[in-house]
């Protein structure tokens, strides 16, 4: 290593931090100012990663099927364009009830 390049530990610190005495009472993850500072990667101060098993999947029953069907119907109903719901009554108001069947067919076509 050349003399111009500081060691890796000193590269991220300011000159004031580099010259500060090491006797300041700080705990792991806490700097002298009282703010939290994350430990370096690979440090022994890093907490251990705990892993666990996944829970068992719920059994597929009719009750579960209906529980899934409810939100699906709501989302499907919201996917029906607002144009049909707004344009149908407008067409009926402008052209009469004779064309209301067209709006009904378009809505049913989207649902099915």
Tens digits of per-residue pLDDT, 63-85? 888 888 888 887 777 776 667 67
Query: How far apart are the two ends of the chain, measured CA to CA in Å?
Result: 73
SS3 (DSSP) at 76 = helix
- Statement: the pTM of the whole predicted model exceeds 0.85: no
Contact 45, 28 (CB under 8 A): yes
User: Residues 6 or more apart from 100 whose CB is under 8 A from it?
Assistant: 88, 91, 92
Q: What is the CA radius of gyration of the chain?
A: 33
Percentage of residues of the chain with pLDDT beyond 90:
0
Concatenate the DSSP letters of all residues of 24-74 into one string: S---TTB-TTS-B-PPPTT-TTSPPPP--PPPPPPP--HHHHHHHHHHHHH
Per-residue pLDDT, averaged over 92-96, amounts to: 84
Q: Which residue has the higher pLDDT, 34 or 104?
A: 104
Residue 24: per-residue pLDDT: 47
Q: Which residue has the higher pLDDT, 56 or 26?
A: 56
Token readout for 12 is: 């991220």
- Confidence band, pLDDT 50/70/90 cuts, at residue 30: low
Mean confidence (pLDDT) of the chain = 70
- Confidence band, pLDDT 50/70/90 cuts, at residue 14: low
């Amino acid at each position: 290593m050349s003399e111009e390049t500081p060691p890796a530990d000193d590269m991220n610190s300011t000159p004031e931090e580099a010259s500060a005495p090491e006797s300041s009472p700080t705990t792991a993850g806490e700097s002298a100012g009282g703010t939290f500072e994350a430990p370096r990667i690979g440090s022994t101060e890093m907490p251990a990663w705990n892993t666990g098993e996944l829970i068992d999947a719920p059994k597929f029953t009719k009750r579960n099927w209906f529980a899934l069907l409810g939100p699906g119907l709501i989302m499907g109903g919201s996917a029906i364009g607002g144009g049909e719901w707004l344009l149908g009554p407008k067409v009926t108001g402008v052209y009469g009830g004779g064309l209301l069947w067209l709006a009904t067919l378009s809505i049913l076509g989207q649902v099915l």
